[in-house]
Amino acid sequence: MTKQSRILIAGSTGYLGLHIVKQLHTEQVEFKALVRNKAKLVSLGIRENQIIEAQVTKPDELNGICNGVDVVISCLGITRQRDGLGYIDVDYQANLNLLQEAERAGVSKFIYVSAFNAGKYSNVRLLKAKESFAQHLLDSDKLIPCVIRPNGFFSDLEEVYQAAKTGRVYLFGTGEVKMNPIHGEDLARFCLEAIDSGERELEAGGPEVLSGKDIAKLAFFVQNKQEQTTCLPDWLQSLALSVVKRLPEKWGGPAEFFLTVMGQDAIAPRYGTHKLGDYFSELSRK
């Protein structure tokens, strides 16, 4: 990444977006941050002239925001649904609105952060929306597209930490399904390095491959609690998945995603230095 690149970060107050903004701010790289509400970034010391307030779901509010921009990095996506918006509204359409504005403005490169193995789970509502946009981006002939597919974030595993805090963690099957989650700081660095990469699609996970039991063990250990893990039968996971798929997206979508991706190994190319045990230790100190 060169400091001459003019970068626009969308979704800049989310988990990953904040890490990218912090790194750019620390390294004094020119950037603009696209947000719904600027208060969080202002509190971090980001200058107001670096912040653009707009609703990405409303194309008219995006007019001109990409003028003079070389690279767009989009971390746009729903974590918790609100304002009546769904996955198609944000993960697909809002990103499409931004892409069309980037194409109009002559942006050189558009980097989109999707999810690991999203293309394999077209029956999962969240991942279907993400992959639909990813394919639309990859088809663009007006700029250089790049889709980054990271494994689960450390922050996604805070529920395991909280479960351990209550005294017991529940896992499905044997608890041996493996993954290599990645810290937001490492993934932010990966995204910025992708600016100079010629790859159209990239995958990234953290440096450690951990099973469900390994993750639970770390959560208990940092809290000085006796390890108590209960493995639930696979049929119960299948039953729960069949139920949540029938629920409205707002209620069933997150559980559908979690139950699906935790059903089999998900090991992405290793990257970064942050370890989950250290992340859990930080939570314990807080």
Query: Where do the structural domains in the chain lie, given as residue ranges?
Result: 7-153+182-204
pLDDT of residue 203: 98
Q: Is the pLDDT reported for residue 2 higher than 70?
A: no
The whole-number average pLDDT for the span 35-56 is 90
Q: Is the pLDDT reported for residue 76 higher than 90?
A: yes
pLDDT of residue 81: 57
Q: Enter the CATH code of domain 7-153+182-204.
A: 3.40.50.720
212 — pLDDT class (breaks 50, 70, 90): very high
CA distances (Å), origin 211, targets 94, 122, 227, 275: 35, 25, 15, 14
The whole-number average pLDDT for the span 59-84 is 88
The whole-number average pLDDT for the span 119-134 is 93
pLDDT of residue 192: 97
Dist. CA 128–CA 151, nearest whole Å: 16
High-pLDDT (> 90) share of the chain, %: 83
Q: Is the pLDDT reported for residue 84 higher than 80?
A: no
Indicate the pTM of the whole model. Answer: 0.94
Answer with the residue of higher pLDDT: 250 or 266. Answer: 266
Closest Cα to residue 147, out of 131, 134, 136, 133?
134
pLDDT of residue 4: 63
pLDDT of residue 90: 94
The whole-number average pLDDT for the span 108-135 is 94
Dist. CA 144–CA 108, nearest whole Å: 6
The whole-number average pLDDT for the span 247-265 is 88
The whole-number average pLDDT for the span 139-155 is 96
Structure-token pair, residue 229 = 């893990």
